Homo-oligomer: A and B are copies of this chain.
């Protein structure tokens, strides 16, 4: 994954790294990064960088242009998402790039927002700016998955994270006391990675059984500058104890319609009644959640799988054989040739453990990638 220095891919990778600084902070907006490069003998010199820090603040392009100043003239702008063409809370970024005299714009992925959706690129081309798209598009689409699910599906993007033994078990049978009493599945490197994901997710979901067993904090620990995702507890009957550690202000408790849980409301929880998981996800969408990290347990994850609501899996596999135990999914019931297909996009070794990252292959979850267009 090391792109040659000075290549379009190299600069776009830098723009993606900029964008990543906003992950978990920009919803309902997408995370976006921008790098401005003045061509020189050895490929180019970065003259400005920026990322979108949160909704209501300026877009990535604006920060990069501010840093570049006069040196934006004649530069190439690498932007992870098609520059906007409409007046939202800020003026259109396409116009700002044009006004600054940028000569070329390289874009990773098109903006599925119906208010943009190609119009930003058209506007740039009409102004005589060379436009190229599709550079590191797959990475950008994954980074923007929450925003894209918001635009295209009207619900959060759901990532199921689990850690299992090599014989496919996430926990022993009938263990009380949670992972601290009974031993974690994976090692410290895996745990650190999970903390990074929590820092980047809008919200983190667990079932009430996990809450009652483990009383997890669901916080981000050990990440410099990290912040906590919003806890979401799926708890049809309102059994969550008001003293649960995850019940910090803003925590959401998803209950069955009509379930009474005044003590939870008093404890600062947002009660979200929902008859189905789809309805719950629409409610989370309305609360501004674009990415949902589903951490368990298997009962909740199986319900998501039954409703085909898992978009990505991140599976740690520990070099252990447990024997009897709980599986990461207990449903739906289907035949092997009807199993849900995944596209693995990363296979890593983290300490002694393996991490498999894979997207759920689903028709119409994403628009077909925009064709590579234009170019200098």
A interface residues (Cβ-Cβ under 8 A, vs B):
164-169, 171-173, 175, 179, 182-185, 302, 305-306, 310, 313, 315, 317, 319-325, 327-344, 347, 349, 352, 354, 356, 358, 360
Contact = CB atoms under 8 A, between A and B. Distances in A.
A303 to B, nearest CB: 11
Nearest to A321: B340
A182 B336 contact: yes
Nearest to A310: B321
A356 B324 contact: no
Contacts of A356: 166, 317, 319, 354
Contacts of A352: 344
Contact of A328 (B167, B172, B305): B167
Q: What are the 9 A-B residue pairs with the smallest beta carbon separation, nearest first? A: A168-B168, A183-B337, A319-B342, A320-B339, A167-B329, A323-B332, A321-B340, A324-B333, A183-B336
B323 A165 contact: no
A343 B319 contact: yes
Contacts of A172: 333-336
A1 to B, nearest CB: 15
Nearest to A318: B339
Interface centre among A315, A332, A339 (most CB of B within 10 A): A339
A370 to B, nearest CB: 26
Copy count, this protein chain: 2
A347 to B, nearest CB: 6
A107 to B, nearest CB: 29
A340 B172 CA distance: 13
Given A319-B344, A334-B172, A166 B324 contact: no
Given A166-B342, A320-B340, A347-B354, 14 more contacts: A164-B168, A165-B339, A168-B169, A172-B336, A175-B336, A183-B338, A313-B321, A317-B356, A322-B334, A322-B339, A323-B330, A324-B329, A324-B330, A324-B333
Contacts of A337: 182-183
A259 B169 CA distance: 36
A136 to B, nearest CB: 22
A335 B166 contact: no
A335 B169 contact: no
A184 B336 CA distance: 7
Nearest to A174: B333
B322 A360 contact: no
29 contacts: A164-B168, A165-B336, A166-B313, A166-B342, A166-B356, A167-B168, A168-B169, A169-B327, A172-B333, A172-B335, A173-B333, A175-B335, A175-B336, A182-B337, A183-B335, A183-B337, A185-B336, A305-B321, A310-B321, A319-B341, A319-B358, A320-B339, A320-B342, A321-B329, A321-B340, A323-B329, A324-B329, A325-B336, A354-B356
A182 B347 contact: no
Contacts of A334: 172, 322-324
Interface centre among A171, A341, A342 (most CB of B within 10 A): A342
Contacts of A317: 317, 356
Nearest to A333: B324
